Structure 1
Amino acid sequence: MTDKKSVVIGFIGLGVMGGAMCRNMALKHDGDVVAYDMNSEAFGILEDTKARRLETVAEVAAVADYVFLSLPGGPQVEQVCLGSGGLTAADRRPATIVDLSTTTVASARAVAEKLAGLGVAFADAPVARTREAAQRGELSIMVGASTDVYSRVKPMLDYIASDVTHCGEVGCGQVVKLINNALVFENTMALAEMMVLGKRAGVEPEVLLDAVSKGSGDSFVLRNHGRKAMLPRTFPEKAFPPEYVLKDISYVLELASQSGLSAHVTELAQRYYTSTAKEGWSGRYFPAVIEIIDQDIGPAKAST
């Protein structure tokens, strides 16, 4: 990578995770950082940093060498990268685009192929861990990119992550991230069921979690979603809701279908989180799935 002070970083998407990531880049990068988000209120997190607010995606493309995206999904990534007024609409384009969002594998590879035809490198680099980890700059990032592109973007990913893994070529980052997310969603569902079972069988949930955490049943989900959300039954808004879970699960099931795998456990999780969204917990933190289990509502019927 060239001299850090001469490299301009652009950041698009200042949501719960994106805002924290952009803030860390602005605090740690020696050169300029510019940012864009459709929501003007999202820039509040950057007020005490050197990050400069721009008014359009096109303005970001006009000055940034590397552009990082943190967007809701594949359609938004494609529009920002390739659409009218997007990052490649004008003659001046960023050298490299790094997508930190979670999208389909097919979408990541299709966008990368189109960008390559325009002379722009691409890496899919979805992130894992919590909002607090994003604030601390301690995310885990799974990168799909050529070795050359990975070596160039790795120093900038280190601004926002404590663990960065090169998973393979473009698309492989999304493969690993989708599997990671599916494991979290399914583990959360299983833990919720066992917490309800333990309580009905006479063991208080706090005692159960404490005991299990000292054995082979311990997990990140237990220590975080179990202790911090399901134990106190606290499911705030503006966290990761069941609707986001269902988006990611749909991506996993699409990948499974394309790969010739019948993902029955993931299909069951899809039905449980569909019930969570439909039965009063829409927009709330997804470990609210425990309420569906505790109320004996059960999974939604499988679609036919």
Structure 2
Amino acid sequence: MSAASATTIGFVGLGVMGAPMCRNIALKHPGDVIAFDMNASAFAGLEGTKATRAQTLAEIAQRADIVFLSLPGDKQVEQVCLGAEGLASGSRRPAIIIDLSTTTVAGARNVAERLASKGVAFADAPVARTREAAQRGELSIMVGADEALFARIAPLLSYMGSDVTHCGAVGCGQVVKLVNNALLFENTVAIAEMMVVGARGGVRPEVLIEAVSKGSGDSFALRNHARKAMLPRQFPDKAFSPEYVLKDISCVLELAEQVGVSAHATQLAQRYYTATATNGWSGRYFPAVIEVVDRAIELPSGAKD
């Protein structure tokens, strides 16, 4: 029996991104896969795979050698890992915990240090790209871990990602993910402003997007968020909402302050998405920020105004 086939993988958190990631693991990993989510309906995303359902976190800790997490943020990651009924609370613990969530850098490093004292290795491995990419197993995964741990977990991450990058020590995966997200959110705001400017200047939005996508103003956000959501003005529920954007932006601004950078562009984006969340697009897909621009909705004052 190979080492891979003898390894049992646990997965905690079967949300919008977690369910397709876990599904890919269950379809590709030769060993057992066991999953946990507090919402019973979340397991529908694993139908047709060999993944089995755990009733508790303790069951994951008892059975799994390596556990992946896909959770909303710092508080949930800390609770699942180190809480009274968390993965490291019992006598039998996973050897490795890999966090696919987006958290603060300080939070990742704190959890890693506390788990290390309990003999559990930890890597932060936040993911980028869309839910569709998660379904295809084509995510970009940014990993913070030491060299030896990265070498061990990279083949498992390749179940979910087509691009797996070792960014440095623990926490560095979160640094890169937060930078990635900030650039996306800020670019989306800039595109929203220029789509409205272009339309009022007499250029049809679809023509503007097509022309700019062939020039130096091209970007992932233009080809995806602008073309697929901002052009048709379709901002569905249960997508990446402005509230999620604001959570990530707060993490970016915390990091910027810690390293002594005044991130003014990110602060402006924060004001735009706050206006989006509080003026009718709460819970809707975040490119709805274009409506804030188009309707000339007043932005809230910045924290340092």
Task: Specify the TM-score bucket, using the shorter chain as the normaliser.
Answer: over 0.9
Equivalent position of 1:88 in the other structure: 88
**TM-score normalised by length of structure 2:** 0.99
Q: Which residue of 2 aligns with 1:217?
A: 217
- 1:149: which partner in 2? 149
- 2:140 is matched with 140
**1:206 touches 1:231 (CA, 8 Å); kept in 2?**
yes
Structure 2 counterpart SS, 1:237? coil
AA partner of residue 92 (structure 1): R
Residue of structure 2 equivalent to 1:106: 106
Measured in 1, the distance between the counterparts of 2:135 and 2:185 equals 22
1:2-41 residue CA offsets vs partner (Å, 9 max, x unmatched):
6111000000000000000000000000000000000000
Secondary structure, counterpart of 2:162 in structure 1: strand
Instruction: State the 1:299 CA deviation.
Output: 2.1
1:28-177 alignment, distance < 5 Å: 28-177=28-177
Unaligned runs of 5+ in 1: none
Which residue is 2:244 aligned to? 244
Alpha-carbon distance, 1:301 to partner = 1.5
CA distance in 2, matches of 1:229, 1:242: 14
Question: Percent identical across equivalent pairs?
Answer: 70
Rounded to whole Å, the distance in 2 between the matches of 1:124 and 1:22 is: 17
Q: What is the TM-score with the length of structure 1 in the denominator?
A: 0.99
Provide the aligned C-alpha RMSD in A. Answer: 0.7
- Equivalent position amino acid for 2:166 in 1: H
Task: Report what 1:232 is aligned to.
Answer: 232
- CA offsets per residue over residues 59-100 of structure 1, 9 Å max, x none? 100000000000000110000000011101101000000000
1:140-182 deviation digits (Å, cap 9, x = unpaired): 0000000011011101000000000000000000000000000
The answer on whether the counterparts of 1:268 and 1:299 sit within 8 Å (CA) in structure 2 is no
CA distance in 2, matches of 1:212, 1:250: 31
- Partner in structure 1 of residue 21 of structure 2: 21
Rounded to whole Å, the distance in 2 between the matches of 1:156 and 1:259 is 32
Residue 4 of structure 2 aligns with which residue? 4
Amino acid across the alignment from 2:146: S
Where do 5+ consecutive residues of structure 2 fail to align?
none
Instruction: Give aligned pairs, total.
Output: 303
Q: Does 1:196 align with 2:220?
A: no
Shift of 1:302: 1.6
Question: After TM superposition, what 4+ stretches of structure 1 lie above 3 angstroms from structure 2?
Answer: none
- 1-structure distance, mates of 2:277, 2:24: 33
